[in-house]
């Protein structure tokens, strides 16, 4: 039986882009489209209803993670596609994204993300945004292929995980990784929450496949090349969340990679002291959140699949 597909789109005062995103989503003819309206003050509700989507209105405005958890809870498909108002799916996206799930061990699919500057076709760039995500042996998460030509990474391959801008998950995998009914970790709020989810899924034995035929154009507000434009608060959150992600998901593999991890940590501390002292409070914030991370870790490790080594996967060719 063909699995049903829900396309969920999160919009926070992004009506001009949402209109184009919805047009592409409707053309895919999914089993349902859910628009999660994060307390928008623009035309988001009207656009959603006009497109025939089911509207989930959040009041007051919540964090990205809470909104994404709402999109999961309020959708019903066997497969759940996470989309944003700034993601525009190409023709054939849905069927291409569905294909790898024929393997029952595939828990998620990473579409091919190509950069765009806006919603119009003329805004699209010949530059790759992401061919999935990686967490390397230093435990540093990043985008595969960011900045490469759009034609690169043309082959399907296993990757660490799918970037949260446009990921497709099997609902059974989302239910498996949930802790107390929570899929994405609300303590992370935003940055690295997708990497944390992908890591958790791998620990529990689910695979992620990069599918280049599932094409999405994406207007990325943050990337490695635009980090300098982030607020200090956002950079602190990103810095802190990496430690929480490690505390939750790390396994026995750490002994193998400890020299790499410690070397990276020494360099990171030196960078903070010399270049970005505003990141120093992130260490204290991570320590404050550690008890909750340890509680989640205990729940994850009780279900851990033996023999899964989630680091150092080769990037797709």
For residue range 46-87, what is the model confidence (pLDDT) as tens digits?
A: 999 999 999 999 999 999 999 999 999 999 999 999 999 999
Q: What is the rounded CA–CA span in Å between residue 96 and residue 105?
A: 17
For the residues 189-195, what does the mean pLDDT come to?
Answer: 87
User: Does residue 284 lie in a domain region?
Assistant: yes
Question: Given 183, 204, 225, which residue is the final one in a domain?
Answer: 225
Residue 105 forms part of a structural domain: yes
∠ Cα 197 202 207 (to 5°): 110
Domain boundary among 225, 250, 268: 225
Neighbours of 54 (CB within 10 A): 16
Identify whether residues 134 and 25 lie together within a single domain.
yes
Of the candidates 140, 198, 177, 191, the one whose C-alpha atom is nearest the C-alpha of residue 296 is 177
Q: Are residues 214 and 258 in the same domain?
A: no
> How is residue 210 written in tokens?
């990069």
Whole-prediction pTM: 0.90
Note whether 88 and 200 are same-domain residues. yes
Which of the listed residues 225, 257, 281 is the one where a domain comes to its end?
225
In a shared domain, residues 202 and 280: no
- pLDDT for residue 212 is more than 60: yes
CA distance 57 to 16: 18
**For residue 306, what pLDDT is reported?**
54
25 within a domain of the structure (yes/no): yes
Q: Are residues 21 and 66 in the same domain?
A: yes
- What CATH code is carried by the domain that includes residue 103? 3.90.550.10
Q: Which residues pair with 10 in a beta bridge?
A: 36, 84
Q: What is the structure's pLDDT at 314? A: 46
Read off the pLDDT of residues 111-161 as tens digits, 9 standing for 90 and up.
999 999 988 888 999 999 999 999 888 988 889 999 999 999 999 999 999
Q: Is 143 within a domain?
A: yes
* Count of positions (residues) in the chain: 317
The number of domains in the chain is: 2
Whether residues 66 and 207 share a domain: the answer is: yes
Burial of 247 (0-12, 13-18, 19+ CB in 10 A): middle
From residue 312, alpha-carbon distances to 65, 159, 195, 256, 292 in Å are 27, 10, 14, 12, 27
CA dihedral over 232, 63, 170, 211, signed as positive or negative: negative
Q: Does residue 116 sit in the same domain as residue 77? A: yes
* pLDDT of 294 higher than 60: yes
Residue 310 in domain: no
pLDDT > 70 in the chain, percent: 94
Give the pLDDT confidence score for residue 317 in this predicted structure: 53
Whether pLDDT at 315 is above 70: no
Taking all residues of the chain, what is their mean pLDDT, rounded to a whole number?
A: 90
315 lies in a domain?
A: no
Are 195 and 265 members of one domain? no
Q: Is the predicted pLDDT of residue 93 greater than 90, yes or no?
A: yes
Is 157 within the bounds of a domain?
Answer: yes
Please give the structure tokens belonging to residue 296: 């989640």
Q: What is the pLDDT of residue 229?
A: 72
Shared domain for 41 and 115, answered yes or no, is yes
Structural domain of 28: 5-225
216 and 79 within one domain: yes
Least confident segment among 176-190, 271-285, 301-315: 301-315
Q: Indicate the Cα dihedral angle 304, 306, 307, 309, nearest 10°.
A: 10
């Amino acid at each position: 039986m063909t699995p049903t597909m829900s396309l969920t789109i999160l919009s926070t005062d992004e009506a001009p882009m949402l209109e184009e995103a919805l047009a592409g989503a409707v053309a895919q003819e999914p089993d349902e489209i859910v628009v999660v309206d994060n307390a928008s003050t623009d035309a988001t509700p009207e656009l959603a209803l006009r497109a025939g989507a089911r509207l989930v209105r959040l009041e007051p405005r919540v964090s990205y993670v809470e909104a994404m958890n709402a999109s999961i809870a309020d959708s019903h498909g066997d497969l759940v596609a996470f989309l944003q108002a700034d993601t525009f799916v190409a023709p054939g996206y849905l069927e291409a994204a569905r294909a790898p799930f024929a393997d029952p061990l595939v828990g998620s699919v990473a579409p091919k993300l190509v950069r765009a500057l806006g919603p119009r076709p003329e805004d699209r760039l010949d530059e790759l945004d992401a061919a999935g995500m990686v967490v390397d042996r230093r435990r540093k998460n990043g985008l595969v292929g960011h900045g490469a030509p759009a034609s690169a990474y043309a082959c399907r391959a296993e990757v660490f995980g799918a970037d949260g801008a446009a990921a497709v998950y099997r609902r059974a995998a989302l239910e498996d990784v949930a802790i107390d009914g929570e899929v994405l970790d609300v303590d992370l709020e935003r940055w690295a929450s997708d990497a944390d989810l992908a890591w958790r899924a791998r620990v529990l034995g689910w695979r992620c496949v990069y599918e280049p035929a599932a094409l999405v154009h994406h207007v990325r507000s943050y990337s490695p090349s635009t980090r300098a434009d982030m607020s200090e608060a956002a950079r602190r959150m990103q810095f802190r969340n990496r430690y929480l992600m490690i505390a939750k998901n790390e396994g026995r593999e750490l002994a193998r990679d400890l020299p790499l991890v410690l070397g990276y940590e020494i360099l990171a501390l030196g960078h903070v002291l010399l270049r970005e002292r505003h990141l120093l409070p992130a260490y204290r914030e991570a320590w404050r959140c550690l008890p909750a991370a340890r509680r989640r870790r205990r729940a994850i490790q009780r279900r851990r699949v033996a023999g899964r080594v989630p680091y150092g996967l080769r990037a797709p060719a």
